[in-house]
Homo-oligomer: A and B are copies of this chain.
C-alpha cells in the first residue's frame, strides 16, 4: 500500500500510467513522450513496477511495459471504506 501511494504521488508517473492505458509500450517509446532523460524515466518505471502498477517483459533489446490494473482494486477497496 505504501509503494502504491508513493508511486502515484508524481505527475510524471501518473502520466506514464495514462499512456499505458492505450496499450503496452517500450521504455524508449515512453521516454520520448517526456522531456526527462531516459534514466529518469527508467527510474520512474522502476517505482511503478515496485508498486506492481506495471509489469515488464524483455523482448530482445527492448523492454515492454504493461499496465497492471489488478493492484488498483486494492486502492479502490481502501477508498470505498470512506464512501458511506
Contacts and interface: CB of A to CB of B under 8 A. Distances in A.
A69 B83 contact: yes
A35 to B, nearest CB: 18
A67 interface: yes
A83 B79 contact: no
B2 A11 contact: yes
Interface of A: 2, 5-6, 8-11, 14, 17-18, 21, 67, 69, 72, 75-76, 79, 81-83
B69 A21 contact: no
A79 B77 CA distance: 12
Given A9-B9, A67-B82, A75-B79, 6 more contacts: A5-B5, A5-B14, A8-B9, A69-B82, A72-B79, A76-B76
A5 B51 CA distance: 15
